Structure 1
Amino acid sequence: MDRKEVSALVNMRGVKGYFLFRQDSPFEVTKLRVNLTNLGSRVGPYHIHHFPTPPMRSPPQTTCSNDNVGGHWNPFGMDTKDPTYPSGPGSTHDRYEVGDLSARHGSLEGKAVMEAVFTDFNLPLFGQNSIVGRSVVIHRPDGTRFLCGLWMSMRTRHRLSIWTGTCR
């Protein structure tokens, strides 16, 4: 089975960078590399959301709306309102929604630049619960949606497929 690598580019509202996800097989961990600049005090949590971003004809202010990208990718139905749901990093990754990246790996809040590599045990690039083809949403510190984008490419060990998408 070929290794999978997917990326989402961010170039919107002055924020630039990428998210790069790599998983060698369905039985291996996923490596997540985050490289974002010019964050200022404008951003907070970040997540994988259920649906891809819509075509360019959507008004920019609604691109990241719930109607377009849905909520956090949560194929196992984790209840974030449950008092035992982890409020930040430190629990095993199976205790979080699959898409809740900032709860597992820390918020972007207060950072001007984010350059980090994380190992994630519950972020599949293979199978029915895969995050591939969904959207990445960066929220403001108050939780409102600020930026979103779609995977831009998928690379396997032997071939490269280019996906079209937009980051706004």
Structure 2
Amino acid sequence: IIMFLNLLSQVSSAIFPQVEAAQKMSNRAVAVLRGDVVSGTIWITQKSESEPAVIEGEIKGLSPGLHGFHVHQYGDSTNGCLSAGPHFNPFGKTHGGPNSEVRHVGDLGNVEAGADGVAKVHITDKLITLYGQNTVIGRSMVVHAGEDDLGTGVGDKAEESKKTGNAGARAACGVIALAAPQ
């Protein structure tokens, strides 16, 4: 048994550093969004830990207009997009827009679909990261049915605005997965 454990330890040392190194070297992630009628592919690229992330892609099947776009806490789709949980919020802030001083890390504002139902996504964001303990890898990307009010809702919409931006139902989602480096 001792010889087996020593061999296992040697094999693990040889394999796991390579896996860990590959994860550290990748500067890209991908989320394939799926919903009942909405679908898309979103790429996240970050050249280094100190650089902002660039989020690009295309989402099809949306109604024309603005749609909330967020990173959610969990990479879980066992109950559709509901399993993705709340917006990714490691610092315990209230909801805001992508340029707000106070916001969830996952608050990316809105994407705009044209008359053809297609939203071309190009966002540069300083809080989204592919590195460290607050990485978005393994979480979910979600596009919502409605417009995100960026935390500015008033009256009976104010409380929910500070949590979700009143963006409505989750139209499509996908797990953010590690992609081959670029």
TM-score, structure 1 length as denominator?
0.70
In the alignment of these two chains, the number of paired residues is 138
Query: Where do 1:1-168 residues align within 5 Å?
Result: 2-41=25-64, 44-54=67-77, 58=78, 62-65=79-82, 68-80=83-95, 86=96, 88=97, 91=99, 95-102=102-109, 106-108=110-112, 112-141=117-146, 143-157=168-182
How much does 1:46 deviate? 1.8
Greater fraction of residues in helix: 2
Gaps of 5+ in 2: 1-23, 147-166
Deviation readout 1:80-111 (Å, 9 max, x if unpaired): 3xxxxx4x45x35x532111112xxx344676
Question: Using the alignment, how far apart are the partners of 1:125 and 1:12 within structure 2?
Answer: 25
Instruction: Pick closer, same or farther for the CA change 1:77–1:131 going to 2, 3 Å.
Output: same
State the match for 1:160 in structure 2: none
**8 Å CA contact retained: 1:43, 1:139:** no
Q: Secondary structure at the residue paired with 1:53?
A: coil
Task: Note the residue ranges of structure 1 that are not aligned, 5 or more in a row.
Answer: 81-85, 158-168
Structure 1 residue matching 2:180: 3-state secondary structure: strand
Q: Percent identity?
A: 28
Q: State the alpha-carbon separation in 2 of the partners of residues 100 and 28 from structure 1.
A: 18
Structure 1 letter corresponding to 2:87 = H
Mapped partners of 1:3, 1:127: distance in 2: 13
Distance (Å, rounded) in 1 between the aligned partners of 2:178 and 2:50: 22
Counterparts of 1:109 and 1:52 in 2: how far apart (Å)?
A: 25
Higher relative contact order (CA 8 A, sep 6+): 1
Contact 1:7 1:19 in 2 (8 A): yes
Shift of 1:128: 0.4
CA deviations over 1:121-154 (Å, ceiling 9, x no partner):
1111100011111011222215122322112442
In structure 1, what is the Cα distance between the partners aligned to 2:175 and 2:42? Answer: 10
Larger Cα Rg: Structure 1 or Structure 2? 2
Q: Distance in 1 between matches of 2:51 and 2:171?
A: 32
